Amino acid sequence: MREQDEHAQFERPRRHTKPRTKIRPNYDDADTARVVTIDRGRYTVTLDDDGRTVTAMKSRNLGRKGVVVGDEVRVVGDVSGADGSLARIVEVTPRRTVLRRTADDDDPIERIIVANADQLVIVAALADPPPRAGLIDRCLVAAFDAGMEPLVCLTKSDLGSPDEIVAMFEPLGVRVVVTRRDGDLDGIRDALRDRVSVLVGHSGVGKSTLVNALVPDANRSVSYVNAVTGRGRHTSTSAISLELPFGGWIIDTPGIRSFGLAHVEVDDLIKAFPDLQDVTRDCPRGCLHSATEPECALDLAVADGTLAPERVESFRRILASMNQKDDY
């Protein structure tokens, strides 16, 4: 005991640090804005009150929380929009929808593509390059998982017939619009009006051409298709949100070669089909609802006429796409 007391006199005095305050900054006067594009740690946002374009950085208090195109945020600082000015994003409001993808089906890390979009427009060419139904199916799965309404936009109908593709998605109740070069765009305008829509698709299918036609001052670079490989060249390198002159917003994304779905579960997908979900309540425990599952209630519903066989087959087709890669 005496030995401990002798050593105690050699202990260093404790540092009297000032306790951290629990009072946090008040951002009640912050402006609300929408993130329209991101470039090397700088965020371009448009203010909700007057549409002013402002450059901002992410505030330190957000920590590791990511900010993506489509996010609705609160900004403080210099919101004049003048050259050289820089505001700060201090808060990201709760997201209504989130479109995710993984690098591949074995990658557990999800990447958020855009936030707060309510419609996923899957753009596919009918020729040059030819349509890849597998990728369309996988994008549909991602849309249903995100709670977004899917829309299939078929371009270049002057080079190929859309009938087969249209018939594929009719049983799912997925809307399909068809466009052609220098053709009437009223159908796609009606589908996009007053919505927040994100475009996805292979390079070379005509996404940027479509965006330039819908937003005349967009000036998106247009790619070409390699005559030997049938692949498009990537021209868009980052997502960008553009306001449509007839109402609504459209988000153009870089061309994709695959759409990983490691984050999607079968139960998440079937929630998008209430009629099928009701039937599958009678499935055996652990049923995956595929065509090879024994005693799947979907088969029984088809047999007794409760469900149309075309709808069940179409659902199982997109279900199977979750385990099929569509790289090119």
State the pLDDT confidence band at 222, using cuts at 50, 70 and 90.
low
User: What is the average pLDDT value for the chain, to the nearest integer?
Assistant: 86
Q: What is the spatial distance between Cα 322 and Cα 171, in angstroms, rounded to a whole number?
A: 19
Q: Quick: pLDDT tens for 61-93.
A: 888 888 999 999 999 999 999 999 999 999 999
Angle between helices 133-146 and 309-321 (to 10 degrees): 90
Cβ proximity of 232 and 225 under 8 Å = yes
- DSSP assigned state of 172: G
| Residues contacting residue 254 through CB under 8 Å, at least 6 positions apart | 203, 234, 236, 237, 238, 239
Q: Is the pLDDT of residue 228 over 50?
A: no
Q: What is the spatial distance between Cα 257 and Cα 213, in angstroms, rounded to a whole number?
A: 24
Q: Which percentage of the chain shows pLDDT scores above 70?
A: 83
Whether the ω angle into residue 108 lies within 30 degrees of 0, i.e. cis, is no
Strands (E) across the chain are located at 31-39, 42-47, 53-58, 72-77, 87-92, 98-102, 110-115, 119-125, 149-155, 175-178, 196-200, 240-243, 249-252
| Amino acid in the structure at residue 40 | R
Least confident window among 54-58, 61-65, 106-110, 216-220: 106-110
| Residues contacting residue 24 through CB under 8 Å, at least 6 positions apart | 61
Pick from 239, 248, 256: which is nearest to 118 by CA?
A: 248
Question: pTM for the complete prediction?
Answer: 0.82
